Chains A and B, each alone.
Chain A
Amino acid sequence: MGFFVEVLISGLMAGVLYSLVALGFVLIFKASGVFNFAQGAMVLFAALTFVRLLDILKDTFAPITLALIITIAMMIMLAMAIERLVLRPLVNQPGISLFMATLGVAYFLDGFGQTLWGSDIYTLDIGIPRGSIFILESVFEGGVLVAKEDLVATVIAGILVVTLAIFFQRTRIGRALRAVADDHQAAQSIGIPLNYIWVIVWSVAGLVALVAGVIWGSKLGVQFSLSLIALKALPVLILGGFESVLGAIIGGLIIGSGEKLAEIYLGPYVGGGIEYWFAYMLALGFLMFRPQGLFGEVHIDRV
């Protein structure tokens, strides 16, 4: 039983990290109806920028703070550039056009980030505790092993989610974001500045990408594979729904725990290595019963 709990907890914690990446997708989808394929590239770009600035600024009085401020500024500039060069010319175009445009942004950012900052593995240490601890030793023999950095990541992700939920539900800008997502033209007609809203939402998505990139980067080192982590967010989105912050969280937890349990308990019967595709199978299974995802909005079109 202790082993099962250990697998479950590690899966839940991995799920929280998937949720962190999925949140970036949700933000942009909620605000613009665009599936942002470049979110993974944004995670890589943000983390690369941060880690390389940290190295450049290491002899200053506050390298982490300075690197953070400059990186945030760069992510906001990136959001402005994307809005100006990619999104604005495509206002009122079909969603698929916007999606394809984000594909281009992803390839550009992947290459540009590596050209600008290099393609090595960069170690990132911002003081997140390393190592592992045993918990529940009185309940299970030998206890349950938990990585400290996963615990910290869970707390950070939790804070971020609560903040974003409040932002969307309780603020004027949050409501404007949701209005824009529903209908670009209708939102514009009642005076919501579409371009301004898009810059805000892409900036917030950039900040989420930075948080995800820093957490993943401190675990793995900052390198190109961070951009592939976005693929882990896809089944989370399918399962949780593209428009729900809560869905991204719950979806992440289900996917994370499901894939780990499957790998451990089903993997040995089919040769192992199943967790990657099992996540998609799990998400597809849910789609059979709830096509809009667990927390996605049901759209009923009059025909």
Chain B
Amino acid sequence: MNYGLLFRALLICVPLAISGCGQDSGTDSGTSGEATGMPSNAAGVIVDVSDANAQFVPVLSYRTGAYAPNGAPVANGFTDYLKLINARDGGINGVKISFEECETGYSTSRSIECYERLKGQGPTGAAVFNPMSTGATFAITEKAPVDKIPLITMGYGRSESRNGGVFPWNFPIYGTYWTAADVLITHLGNINGDINNLKGKKIALVYHDSPFGKEPIPLLEKRAEMLGFELLSIPVTHPGVEQKSAWIQIRKQKPDYVLLWGWGVMNSTAIKEAAGVRYPRDQMFGIWWAGSEPDVKPAGADAVGYQAVSMISSGQARVHEDALSYLYDNGLGSGERDGVGEVLYNVGLLNAALVVESIRTAQSKYGEKPLTGEEVRWGIENLDISDEAIEILGLTGYMYPVRLSCLDHEGKRAARLHRWNGESWEYSSDWISADDSVIQPMVKSASDTYAKEAGISTNACDS
């Protein structure tokens, strides 16, 4: 007997045979259902990309790497919603959705590769891209007008891209970083009785040293100048596992508040480091990308009292019940059952709902068939999701009305804060609107500068 061959075979086969022993039951959280083998009841729910009658939606996701704990639930929520539309509604007005996931690892270069690979898929090409990364959004923004594919960047991307006159293909629906930063400053003002009482206060921004982390700085600097508070900007390098020096500075400077602009493991590490230097967690406020379960659970009791601005919090509405019954009860869920309704799952789900409603809106003009990116762009720009529509979608309480226009690609500029109580997130503020008299001139100035450098028109809405 060839013992060498037998030994090699065992080394390969035994680990594969036991793989999954550390996973909970249900669908593998690391890959989508279709990747792990299509169940027999997936017919009509998971549609082949080559289907000539299906609308293709590309999915850029990161289920591996340093940011996987945050990327996987977003991808689960996103793909679950697409599958649910097929399973429950038979598609969008009868047009089934096909999708393909491409693993980016939260890397800009790999995101571009995924974009290039997926943009031409399906009968009409990609309907819309959700880059799921600010760095990738910066890069793809240059490509989208050429390829005529719109970008929905819900809660991330370029803040000035809400200006449809300069960025006709970008849609930062549900808030930009400038909106989030201004909501946080307004909230701090509310805590102090009046926003003008922030004068003389010290506010530290602990940020991920990347385009994402740097994005709020112009707004905060502007607000510091207007309101008279001192802004300390403290960068943390990727991926954010080593923050000791940042928090020693916090301990020395004793800021009144810390704004945490992190992503991935940086957030839980920051909360632990804050506890280590005895900085009160109830004086820490995160961006919405620092306000989910993976950001607080690893920090345990140290995270209690920490707050973050929120696009959508945790919990389950009727749409979640549908996802559980149509998908998870049939073994078609993208992730684990327990993850349905967590913050980032809901972010992904909401993101997909915006995509689907954009396609539905576009169908009202172009017909019930697979549409091109250019046609879907019209649908996004003319989105008008009312309270009644939200009720029909089963998202009441988890979504606010959205109405966009050619010039305004952001919609309502408001958010709530939620606080971690050790077990779950609970809302800690009412809706807070950003002050557009501050943001609008910045948007105008930044988008004009972009247009000048890129040599493009600033009045795409005039045509």
Contact = CB atoms under 8 A, between A and B. Distances in A.
A10 B251 CA distance: 13
A131 interface: yes
Given A220-B265, A221-B268, A119 B68 contact: yes
Interface residues of A, number: 52
B442 interface: no
B272 interface: yes
Q: Which of A131, A147, A223, A260 has the largest count of B CB atoms less than 10 A from its CB?
A: A223
A121 B236 contact: no
A225 B239 contact: yes
A276 B237 CA distance: 7
Interface in B299-318: 300, 302
A191 interface: no
B245 A7 contact: yes
Interface string B1-19: 0000001100100010011
B432 interface: no
Given A10-B244, A272-B234, A119 B69 contact: yes
Interface string B216-258: 0000000000000000011111011110111011011000000
Interface string A278-302: 0000000000000000000000000
Interface in A228-256: 228-229, 232
A81 interface: yes
B63 interface: yes
Contacts of A221: 265, 268, 298
A131 B242 contact: no
B33 interface: no
A123 interface: yes
Interface stretch (B138-146, B170-178, B275-283): B275-283
A165 B301 CA distance: 39
A184 interface: no
A111 B64 contact: yes
Interface of A is mostly: helix
A222 to B, nearest CB: 9
Given A220-B265, A220-B269, A114 B248 contact: no
Interface stretch (B21-29, B80-88, B194-202, B433-441): B21-29
Given A121-B294, A272-B234, A116 B21 contact: yes
B251 A223 contact: no
B298 A121 contact: yes
A81 B14 CA distance: 12
A118 B235 contact: no
A200 B18 CA distance: 26
B322 to A, nearest CB: 25
A115 B15 CA distance: 10
A224 B235 contact: no
B64 A224 contact: yes
Contact of B237 (A119, A216, A275): A275
B297 interface: yes
Nearest to A149: B276
Contacts of B244: 10-11, 14, 260
Contacts of A122: 298
A81 B265 contact: no
Contact of B235 (A10, A11, A85, A271): A271
B277 A263 contact: no
A15 to B, nearest CB: 11
B370 interface: no
A95 interface: no
Contacts of A117: 22-23
Contact of A131 (B233, B265, B275): B275
A120 interface: yes
20 contacts: A10-B248, A52-B22, A81-B11, A110-B64, A116-B22, A118-B29, A119-B63, A119-B72, A120-B294, A121-B69, A125-B300, A221-B268, A224-B64, A224-B68, A225-B241, A225-B264, A228-B66, A228-B241, A272-B209, A275-B242
